[in-house]
Amino acid sequence: MGFLSRSKDKEKEEPVIEAAPCPHTSLVQRWDLPEEMGDKEKATYICDACAERFSYEQAQQFLEHPSVPALEHTPQ
Ligand SMILES: [Zn+2]
């Protein structure tokens, strides 16, 4: 029963729960004031993954310079 001993070995390993740094690349636009709606420079950008909020300038940086190298391999 090779697979039994193999699963036992697995139990010894600690689960790797790594908190990878969020690249903040899936940002959702929100506007507090209805009259500013549609003005992307006045929007608040909320990260879909970690719920952090950013200004337009910050959001642009995340979208233009993704910090995660893996994203470079994502096909367009
Ligand atoms: Zn994020």
* Mean pLDDT, residues 22-35: 93
Angle at the Cα of 48 from the Cα atoms of 31 and 59, rounded to 5 degrees: 60
Residue 12 predicted with pLDDT over 60: yes
Ligand 1 center from residue 46 Cα (angstroms): 8
CA of 26 to the centre of ligand 1 (A): 7
pTM score, whole prediction: 0.58
Residue 24: partners with Cβ closer than 8 Å, 6 or more residues away = 47, 49, 50, 52, 54, 59, 62
At 63 the pLDDT is 82
Is the predicted pLDDT of residue 1 greater than 60, yes or no? no
- Domains of the chain: which residue ranges? 25-67
Give residue 37 CA to ligand 1 midpoint distance, Å. Answer: 22
Strands 53-54 and 44-47: antiparallel
Rounded average pLDDT over 33-56: 95
Q: Is the pLDDT of residue 66 over 60?
A: no
Q: Where are the alpha helices (DSSP H) in the chain?
A: 2-12, 56-64
DSSP 8-state secondary structure symbol assigned to residue 63: H
Distance 49 CA to ligand 1 centre (A): 5
pLDDT at 73 over 80: no
